[in-house]
Structure 1
Amino acid sequence: MLGSIKTFLKDRLAHTASPTERGQVLRVATAAILLEVSRADFETDEAELETIAAALRRAFDLDEAAVREVIAEAREQDDSELSLYPFLKIVNDACTPEEKYRVVCDLWRVAYADGRLDKYEEYQIRRIADLLYVPHSEFIRAKLSIQGEG
């Protein structure tokens, strides 16, 4: 569908990309980042996948078919990438600080979806939040906010 993220960034995210293409790239990048946290503890379970789907529906107002498509594309792109950095760059370039904070909240939701927080999940969220330039105080606020939901 989109080809590799690097090719897409290089060839189409310039000024010639349509808003629809840019939106799809952002959705896929966000899904890939969320999936990364679900894999951090070496076990991706159904509750984590449902949490990712709910986050994508909420953030991008997607229906179920669109969510499945985005997650499938994110898995495909993530498997072809050796690094999270292309995905993080997309989110950094496209999102406001408040939108990045909401991504970090969703990362915490994914980590807590299976009923426990693994140290590798927490490490991965901290790393992603730093790379999204989310201040540490906001990282902690997001964690406490999501803990309060449970």
Structure 2
Amino acid sequence: MFKAIREWLQMEGLVEDDERQFGPDDHRIAVAALLVHLVAIDGEITADERRVLREVLADHYDLTTEDTETLVKLAKERDDEAVDLYGFTSVLKRVLDEDGRKQVIEMMWEMGYADGRISEFEDNTVWRVAELLAVTSRERIEIKKRVEARLENKSS
């Protein structure tokens, strides 16, 4: 009943709907939540990590600044509510093909290197997510090396 009332209020423009751009089952929220989780896993969120989070999401999904902020907000909410990573990865495994799942791992490595180094917690999280997404260890390491090389070329 409350959902119906909220939907009616949103249609009338009386309440903002942060999920207008992102439906409740939108896989982009699951990806963003994994990235948000990864950023926070070492206990410190730097300004560089915040910036890279937004850049990675905006570039990968071709989002406006406003949509990116909405996605990050929704992702933080979902990550706060989550009890494990499986809830996110099960959605991604269901809707993404093999290349799409590998792109998620690539985005995670990009996030991990946002502060210049991969912590053991970040490395372990990427490993667990890759396993849940059926990305092999070999593929995960190849993606990591590709991201490292790209970031080295960028800084030169």
Match of 1:41 in 2: 42
Q: CA deviation at 1:70?
A: 0.5
Match of 2:26 in 1: 25
Match of 2:109 in 1: 108
- The yes-or-no answer on 1:65 pairing with 2:69 is no
1:1-150 superposed matches below 5 A = 25-150=26-151
Deviations 1:60-83 (A, max 9, x none): 111110010011011111111212
Deviations 1:83-140 (A, max 9, x none): 2211111111111111111111111111111011111111111111111110111101
Q: Which amino acid aligns with 1:27?
A: R
Q: CA deviation at 1:24?
A: 6.2
Alpha-carbon distance between aligned partners in 2 of 1:102 and 1:146, rounded to the nearest angstrom: 11
Greater Rg by CA: 2
- Percent of aligned pairs with the same amino acid: 26
Q: Secondary structure at the match of 1:108?
A: helix
Deviations 1:16-40 (A, max 9, x none): xxxx765862111110011111112
TM-score w.r.t. length of structure 1: 0.81
Alpha-carbon distance between aligned partners in 1 of 2:72 and 2:23, rounded to the nearest angstrom: 16
Alpha-carbon distance between aligned partners in 1 of 2:97 and 2:57, rounded to the nearest angstrom: 17
Q: How many residues align?
A: 132
For the aligned residues, what is the CA RMSD? 1.8
Alpha-carbon distance between aligned partners in 2 of 1:124 and 1:149, rounded to the nearest angstrom: 21
TM-score w.r.t. length of structure 2: 0.78
Higher relative contact order (CA 8 A, sep 6+): 1
Distance 1:73 1:22, change over 3 A: closer
Distance 1:23 1:57, change over 3 A: farther
Query: Contact (CA 8 Å) 2:33, 2:76: kept in 1 or not?
Result: yes
- Structure 1: which 5+ residue stretches go unaligned? 3-19
